[in-house]
Amino acid sequence: MSKAGAPSLTVDAAGLRVAVVAASWHDQVMGGLLDGARRALSGAGVTDVTEVRVPGSFELPVACARLARAGGYDALVALGVVIRGGTPHFDYVCSAATDGLTRVSVDTGIPVGFGVLTCDDEQQALDRAGLPGSGEDKGHEAAAAALATVVALRQVEGVRASA
Ligand code: DLZ
Name the closest-CA residue to atom 23, ligand 1.
Answer: 58
Q: Are 149 and 112 in contact (CB under 8 A)?
A: no
Domain ranges of the chain: 17-162
Question: Does 162 score more than 80 pLDDT?
Answer: no
pLDDT score, position 3: 76
| CA 29 to centroid of ligand 1, rounded, Å | 15
Closest by Cα among 20, 13, 32 to 147: 13
- How large is the average pLDDT for residues 85-111? 97
CATH homologous superfamily of 17-162 equals Lumazine/riboflavin synthase (3.40.50.960)
pLDDT score, position 28: 98
The catalytic residue among 12, 89, 155, 158 is 89
The predicted-structure confidence for 70-80, as pLDDT tens digits, reads as follows 989 999 999 99
Active site residue 140: no
Atom of ligand 1 nearest to the CA of 55: 19
